[in-house]
Structure formats: structure tokens, C-alpha cells
């Protein structure tokens, strides 16, 4: 029995030595590289950019700490900085940080003592809890004018008593309106034009992330609601409730905005299923990929109106999404 135990301990010791040697050899490249070498971020990996946007790097709940680390070379001659929305929040190869709910742009910069640098960029999505106040992304709420009244629709908004934009606070009033309930407030008058993160505070002093808002010198163009409700679009059931009326409701130059939610694809077409802007049918119809709650916009042209009249009006086709509202914006 003693002999077996002795052999087991010896084997473990040899294995440990082997692992130590292996690790040392693996790190030799990082340790022995010189300060003149160009920096590299070996880990973590970031996805490819798409349509001018960085890929999602991590998607976490707001009650989970963001914990991460980087592997760089030349390791002895590099400073690592972590930036959120272009603002430095940490320095070092390891990070542990808590974020409010929202969508952030994470940037990791590695710079050598000789001033050479490289970076990686990705999106960090931090999700709200179901019980949190969760504001929507309606552009009519997300573009405001300093000193004027504004609204913010969403879920559990009755919990909100205060909103802060760029650190400047405003008291809110809750307005009950079914699934379109909102808080109204006056935008602080001394806010400069720009994009700000907002926070929401409840009566107990808890603070929640509300993502971003744009302070502009003009409010979004007025929208006229053409239809409102819930319509599930599938390949077998296109939205055709305004098919014959569309030509009388809109004109060239108008913007048709469609509020949707779901996971699917779709677009606005003629009654013959040809793209309302290009006139092309499947497979060149260019359906828009739908991911979550978003709005689709179609700026109608003379050609759009022509094919709308020739091809039995206008409908919305696709699969896997729900239309909740269709509006018209008249360009000034």
C-alpha cells in the first residue's frame, strides 16, 4: 500500500514539474519580447464589425459583475487601458466592474513603453432585470430639447420618481396609459447639445440605467399614427390591413415608420411582394433583419407611389415579427 502511495505522489510531482515547464515555455514569448516589438492583444477575441458597428462582445445581466482579463505581448512593457464609451474606467490586465443596464462600447487599448499601441473594440450589453424600470427605444422619447417637456415610455415606469441626464436631475410624473404608460418630465434647461446616458431613480433611491438620450435643438418630426395594435407577420399572413388605403394616406417624400418587435425579417412591399423602394422581388427584395424592438423607416419616392398604384397597394411581408404601430412623418 505504501509503495502504491509513493508511486502516486511521485507521478503527481513529475506531472506538476511538466506543467510548470510547459507554462514557462508558453509564456517565454510574452516575457522575452522586447519593448521595441509591436504590441498584440492575444486574448480575448472580438468579433468582426458589421455595418459600421462593433460586434457584441459580452451580454450580461446588470446584477452580474463584469470580470475579464487580457493577454498581451510584450507583457513586461505594456500598459492596458479599459475604456467605456471612450472614457477610461480602469488600467491593468484584469478588470472587475459593475455596470448599470444599457449598451456600451468597450475598448481595450494596449500601449508599449515606446508609445506603440493597438486596441480591440466590442459592444457590452448589460440587461435590466424584469422588475426594473425598463425604458423603450422610441426615437420620439430619445431625442429631446433642453427646457422642454418630454416623455419616456417603458415597462415598470411607475417606479420612477426622478430622471438624470448628464448628471442633471428632473422630477418625473407617471402617466398611466395601459401598455403605453410613461413618465413625463422637463428636460434640464442648461444641458448642452449632445448624447448623454440617463439614469432612473425610484422612491427608495435605487438607480437604474436608462441607456442614451440625445439633446437636440429640435424635437423629432411629428408623427401621424396610421395604424396601431398587434399584428403577427408570417410568410402566410403579411400585414395587409392598409393595403388599398396606403396610396391615399401617403405621398412621395413622406417617411413611413413601422414599430416592430421579434426575431425575423421583413420589409414594406407592394401588393405583389416587390420592395416598395426598389421594385425588386425575392431573392433581391432585401428584407431587413429584425432583432428585438426596433423601428423600420421607408422614405417614399415618386417610384414608390407609382408601383404602389400599379401593384395593388402596399403591405408588410416577412416572418417572425409583430407590428405594433405604423406612422407617417411628413418631411419639412
Q: Per-residue pLDDT tens for 57-86? A: 999 999 999 999 999 999 999 999 999 999
Three-class SS of residue 194? strand
The answer to whether 179 touches 191, Cβ cutoff 8 Å, is: no
Q: Give the mean pLDDT of the chain.
A: 89
Which segments of the chain have a pLDDT < 50?
Answer: 1-29
Please report the pLDDT score of residue 332 as a whole number.
57
pLDDT for residue 30: 53
Residues 6+ apart with CB under 8 A from 126: 60, 61, 62, 66, 99, 100, 101, 102, 103, 104, 209
Q: What's the pLDDT score for residue 28? A: 45
C-alpha 296/C-alpha 331 separation (Å) is 16
Nearest to 327 by CA among 300, 305, 297, 302: 297
Note the pLDDT of residue 32: 57
Question: Which domains are assigned to the chain?
Answer: 40-127 (2.60.40.10), 134-216 (2.60.40.10), 223-329 (2.60.120)
Tell me the Ramachandran region of residue 26: left when phi exceeds 0, alpha when psi lies from -120 to 50, beta otherwise: alpha
pLDDT in tens, 252-275: 999 999 999 999 999 999 999 999
CA distance 170 to 187: 7
At residue 313, the pLDDT reads: 97
Exposed/middle/buried for 31, CB within 10 Å: 0-12, 13-18, 19+?
exposed
Instruction: Please report where in the chains the cell 420620439 appears, as a residue.
Output: 140
- Cell for 242? 392598409
pTM: 0.69
- The whole-angstrom separation of Cα 102 and Cα 197 is 9
What is the structure's pLDDT at 31?
56
Amino acid at each position: 500500500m505504501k509503495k502504491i502511495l509513493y508511486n502516486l505522489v511521485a507521478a503527481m510531482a513529475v506531472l506538476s514539474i511538466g506543467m510548470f515547464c510547459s507554462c514557462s515555455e508558453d509564456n517565454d514569448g510574452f516575457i522575452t519580447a522586447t519593448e521595441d516589438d509591436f504590441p498584440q492583444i492575444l486574448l480575448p477575441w472580438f468579433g468582426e464589425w458589421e455595418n459600421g458597428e462593433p460586434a457584441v462582445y459580452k451580454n450580461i445581466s446588470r446584477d452580474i459583475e463584469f470580470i475579464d482579463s487580457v493577454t498581451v505581448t510584450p507583457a513586461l512593457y505594456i500598459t492596458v487601458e479599459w475604456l467605456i464609451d471612450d472614457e477610461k474606467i480602469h488600467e491593468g490586465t484584469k478588470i472587475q466592474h459593475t455596470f448599470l443596464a444599457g449598451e456600451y462600447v468597450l475598448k481595450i487599448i494596449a500601449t508599449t513603453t515606446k508609445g506603440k499601441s493597438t486596441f480591440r473594440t466590442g459592444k457590452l450589453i448589460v440587461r435590466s432585470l424584469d422588475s426594473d424600470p425598463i425604458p423603450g427605444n422610441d426615437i420620439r422619447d430619445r431625442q429631446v430639447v433642453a427646457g422642454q417637456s418630454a416623455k419616456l415610455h417603458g415597462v415598470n415606469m411607475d417606479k420612477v420618481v426622478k430622471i438624470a441626464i448628464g448628471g442633471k436631475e428632473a422630477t418625473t410624473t407617471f402617466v398611466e396609459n395601459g401598455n403605453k404608460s410613461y413618465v413625463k418630465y422637463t428636460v434640464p434647461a442648461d444641458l448642452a447639445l449632445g448624447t448623454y446616458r440617463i439614469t432612473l431613480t425610484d422612491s427608495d433611491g435605487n438607480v437604474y440605467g436608462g441607456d442614451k438620450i440625445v439633446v437636440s435643438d429640435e424635437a423629432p418630426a411629428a408623427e401621424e399614427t396610421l395604424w396601431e395594435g398587434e399584428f403577427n407577420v408570417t410568410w402566410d399572413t403579411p400585414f395587409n390591413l392598409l393595403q388599398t388605403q396606403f396610396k391615399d394616406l401617403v405621398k412621395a417624400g413622406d417617411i413611413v415608420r413601422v414599430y416592430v418587435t421579434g426575431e425575423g425579417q421583413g420589409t414594406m412591399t407592394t401588393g405583389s411582394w416587390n420592395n416598395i423602394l426598389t421594385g425588386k422581388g425575392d431573392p433581391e427584395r432585401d428584407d431587413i433583419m429584425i432583432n428585438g424592438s426596433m423601428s423600420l423607416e421607408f422614405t417614399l419616392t415618386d417610384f414608390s407611389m407609382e408601383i404602389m398604384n400599379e401593384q395593388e397597394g402596399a403591405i408588410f411581408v416577412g416572418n417572425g415579427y409583430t407590428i405594433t404601430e405604423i406612422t407617417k412623418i411628413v418631411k419639412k
